[in-house]
Amino acid sequence: MTAETTAELALCCMSHAPLLWTADPGESVRRRVDDALREAREFVTTFDPDLVVVFGPDHYQGFRYELMPPFCVGTAARAIGDYGTSAGDLDVPQALADDLIARLLEADLDVAMSEKMVVDHGISQPLDILFGGCSAKPVIPVFINSVAEPLGPLRRVRRLGEAVGEWVGGLGRRVLLVGSGGLSHDVPVPRLREASPEAAAHLVDRRRTPAEQTAREEAVRQAGQAFARGESPLMPLNPDLDHEFLRLFTEGDLTRFDDYDVGWLGEQGGSSVHEVRSWIAAHAALATAGPYRTLSSFHQPVPEWIIGFGITTALPSERGTT
C-alpha cells in the first residue's frame, strides 16, 4: 500500500439510549454523561473525517424477521427519527458503498445490500450527537443484527470489522469508525417465539403507525422509570461485564471476544448486550492499521435509561496522544 492510498483512521464507540434526552438520571449522572459526550464530540471535530463508517443495530424498525440478514450495507439510507433523533436521508456515497460490498463478498463475508435501508436511533443517534444530524457527513451505514435471535458467533463480527478496515485503509481518506450500541442492558422487547400474535406481527413485517410509535416510546419511558425504581422484571445492569468489555477494547485483545458464548453473554448482560458487536467490528477495523491507543474510556450505569452507558475514542498508536 502506498502512502498516497493510506487512510487516516479514528474510532468513536458509544452507547445509544432511547431515553437519553427524555428521562432524568439525576444531576451528577447527567453531568458525567454530558461531559463524556462533549469530549467525544470534540475528538471527532478535531479529527474532522471526510467519511464515516457506522456499525449499528436496528430495533425492528428497518429490519424484521420477514428477512433478517446478519450484516447489511446501505447504499442509500433514511432515518425514521424515533426517540427524538433526526429524520431524513443519510448522505451515503453510493459508489463507495458499492465497492465496500464487493470487497466484503470477496472476503467470504455474505453481507446483504440495501438500496432503501431504514435506520433508527441505533445508527442515527450517534450521528446526531457527534455531527448534529444524520446527513452532516458522508456516511456508510453497516447494519449488524444484534437483537433478533438467532445470533451468529462473535468471531464473524470481528472478521467483518477487519474486512471493512482493510477496505478503508486503501481509500486515502480521513475515516471515522463509529460503533453504536450496548453495553449491558435488557430491553422490553418480546422474543419472537414467545410473543403474542400482535407483538409477533411487529417483529415480522408490520410497520408501526405514527400513533403506535408514540405509544411505544411512552411504554419504553415507563419501563425505564420502573427499572430505576427496582420494580422491573428486566435483568439488572452488569457493570463488571461492561468493564471487562472496556478492558479488552483498551488492550486490543479482540480475539478474546471469540471465546464468548452468545447464550451465556445474554444471560450475563441482558437481551441487548449483543449490541457490543458494533464496538467489536469498529475496533477490529481500526486494528487493521496496527496497534491502537485508547484515548478515552467512559462508563456509567444509568438505570433510568436501562443501560450501562459507555464511550471510547481511539487512534492508531503512531497518532495517539496522552
Which residues are designated catalytic? 121, 185
d(CA 77, CA 91): 8
In the chain, the amino acid numbered 288 is: T
With residue 246 as reference, give the H or E element that holds it: helix 239-251
d(CA 142, CA 111): 9
Q: What would the grid cell of residue 200 be?
A: 409477533
With residue 55 as reference, give the H or E element that holds it: strand 51-56
Instruction: Kindly report the length of the chain.
Output: 322
**Which of 116, 83, 114, 16 minimizes the C-alpha distance to 56?**
16
Q: What are the b/e assignments for 167-194, b being 16+ CB within 10 Å?
A: bbbebebebbbbbbbbbbbbbbbeebee
